[in-house]
C-alpha cells in the first residue's frame, strides 16, 4: 500500500441563514452576503493545505488513495466522517435525520447520527433533544399546525466542554449562544419539521417516518483513559480529548493505527512532523488528517494545547 503523509485540510465556509457575517475570533472570515453558519473541516470540497497533495480536494484524495487513507479494503469508499463547526446566531430549524435503513429506502447510502462538542457556550445556550416524554405522534403533528412545536421539545442547557449525542431519529434543534464541533456520518440528509415561520420547505412525512419518540440522545460524561479522556464512543465515531504540554511526547496518541485519524485543535497550536514530509502547523480550529498508511509521525504543542482525536468506528 502506498504511504500517504499526514496533511492539514483547509476549511470550507457554508452559508446558512442562521449564521454570522463575521466569524472572529474563531476564523478570520467576513462576508457581505449570506451569513456563514457552518465551517466544514472534512467536507468533500475541503482541499489539502500542506504536503504533496496540496490543492487536491478530500473527495479526490479519497477516491485516488482510498485504501491508503482509510485502511486496507476500503478503496472506493467515501471519507467516513463529516466534521464541522456550527455558529448559530439564531435558532436552527427543528429537524430529524434518518437512520441507515430509512436512508437506503430512499436511495441514499447512509443515514445521519451525530454528536456535538461545545467549544464555547454563553449563558442561556441550549439545544433541544427529543420530544417530551408522554407526547404522541398526533400531538407532535398538532403542535406543528399550531406553530408551537418548541413547547413539546426537551430543551437542555449547554455549557463549554459538553458532549452531546444525537442518534438518528432524534427530533432536535440548536439555539443560539454555543459554538459546536459536530462529528457525524458523511451525510447531509436533514428532514425539516418546523422552521418558526421561515419560508423554507418542510419534509413532514419523511420526518414522521424517521422520528422516534424514545432515543439515546443526551449529554455524555467523559471517561478517563490513561492520559486522555474519551468524550464519546459510539457506533460510528469515537472522540477523545488530549491536553498536551510542551515537552510531552504523547506517544500513545501517535501510535500507528489501521484506520484514518483526524486531529482537531480546540485550543493552542501544534506541529505535526515525521519522516518523509515537511512539518506543518495545526492552529486553533484547524484539522489534520492522519492516513491509515501514514509512516511514523509526532505532534509537538507550541504551548498548552487541547486537541481532539476523532476516528471512525464503522469502517
Q: At 312, is the pLDDT very low, low, confident or very high (cuts 50, 70, 90)?
A: very high
Q: Give CA–CA dist 137/123, Å, rounded.
A: 32
Q: Are residues 227 and 201 in the same domain?
A: no
Question: Does the predicted model carry a pTM greater than 0.85?
Answer: yes
Q: What is the pLDDT of residue 247?
A: 82
What are the pLDDT digits (tens) for 42-69?
999 999 999 999 999 999 999 999 999 9
Query: Does 65 carry a binding-site annotation?
Result: no
2 lies in some domain = no
Query: Distance between CA 52 and CA 189 in Å, rounded?
Result: 33
Q: Read off the pLDDT of each residue in 267-277 and give the average, rounded to a whole number.
A: 95
Report percent pLDDT > 70 for the chain.
Answer: 99
* Residue 70 in grid coordinates: 482509510
pLDDT-derived band of residue 158, with 50, 70 and 90 as boundaries? very high
What is the total residue count of the chain? 315
Average per-residue pLDDT in the chain? 95
User: Distance between CA 229 and CA 222 in Å, rounded?
Assistant: 6
Other Cβ atoms less than 10 A from the Cβ of 60: the count is 14
- Tell me the C-alpha distance between 243 and 226, whole Å: 12
Question: Quick one: pLDDT at residue 1?
Answer: 64
97 labeled binding residue = yes
Residue 314, pLDDT > 80, answer no
227 and 199 fall within a common domain: no
Q: Is 117 in the same domain as 100? A: yes
Residue 251 in marked binding region: no
Catalytic residue among 122, 192, 198, 309: 192
- Full domain range(s) for residue 46: 7-219
Across residues 148-153, what is the average pLDDT? 95
Q: Is 192 a catalytic residue?
A: yes
Burial of 232 (0-12, 13-18, 19+ CB in 10 A): buried
d(Cα 10, Cα 287) in Å, to the nearest integer? 8
Distance CA 284, CA 301 (A): 11
pLDDT at 24 over 90: yes
Residues 165-188 have pLDDT tens digits of: 999 999 999 999 999 999 999 998
258 and 114 in one domain?
no
pLDDT of amino acid 281: 98
CATH number at residue 130: 2.60.120.10
Q: What is the pLDDT of residue 2?
A: 78
Amino acid at each position: 500500500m502506498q504511504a500517504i503523509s499526514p496533511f492539514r485540510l483547509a476549511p470550507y465556509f457554508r452559508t446558512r441563514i442562521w449564521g454570522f457575517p463575521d466569524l472572529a475570533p474563531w476564523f478570520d472570515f467576513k462576508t457581505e452576503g449570506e451569513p456563514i453558519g457552518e465551517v466544514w473541516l472534512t467536507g468533500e470540497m475541503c482541499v489539502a493545505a500542506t504536503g504533496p497533495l496540496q490543492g487536491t480536494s478530500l473527495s479526490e484524495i479519497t477516491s485516488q488513495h482510498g485504501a491508503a487513507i482509510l485502511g486496507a479494503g476500503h478503496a472506493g469508499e467515501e471519507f467516513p466522517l463529516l466534521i464541522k463547526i456550527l455558529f448559530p446566531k439564531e435558532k436552527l430549524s427543528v429537524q430529524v435525520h434518518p437512520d441507515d435503513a430509512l436512508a437506503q429506502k430512499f436511495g441514499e447510502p447512509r443515514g445521519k447520527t451525530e454528536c456535538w462538542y461545545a467549544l464555547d457556550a454563553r449563558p442561556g445556550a441550549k439545544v433541544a433533544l427529543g420530544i417530551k416524554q408522554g407526547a404522541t405522534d398526533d400531538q407532535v403533528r398538532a403542535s406543528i399546525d399550531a406553530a408551537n412545536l418548541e413547547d413539546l421539545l426537551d430543551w437542555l442547557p449547554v455549557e463549554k466542554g459538553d458532549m452531546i449525542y444525537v442518534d438518528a431519529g432524534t427530533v432536535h434543534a440548536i439555539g443560539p449562544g454555543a459554538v459546536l464541533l459536530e462529528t457525524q456520518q458523511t451525510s447531509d440528509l436533514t428532514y425539516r419539521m418546523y422552521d418558526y415561520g421561515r419560508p423554507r420547505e418542510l419534509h413532514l412525512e419523511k420526518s414522521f417516518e424517521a422520528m422516534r419518540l424514545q432515543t439515546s440522545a443526551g449529554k455524555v460524561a467523559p471517561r478517563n483513559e490513561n492520559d486522555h479522556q474519551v468524550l464519546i464512543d459510539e457506533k460510528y465515531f469515537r472522540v477523545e480529548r488530549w491536553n498536551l504540554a510542551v515537552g510531552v511526547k504523547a506517544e500513545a496518541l501517535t501510535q500507528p493505527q489501521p484506520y484514518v485519524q483526524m486531529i482537531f485543535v480546540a485550543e493552542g497550536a501544534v506541529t505535526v512532523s515525521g519522516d518523509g514530509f515537511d512539518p506543518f502547523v495545526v492552529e486553533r480550529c484547524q484539522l489534520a488528517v492522519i492516513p491509515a498508511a501514514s509512516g511514523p509521525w509526532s505532534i509537538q504543542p507550541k504551548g498548552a494545547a487541547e486537541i481532539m482525536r476523532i476516528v471512525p468506528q464503522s469502517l
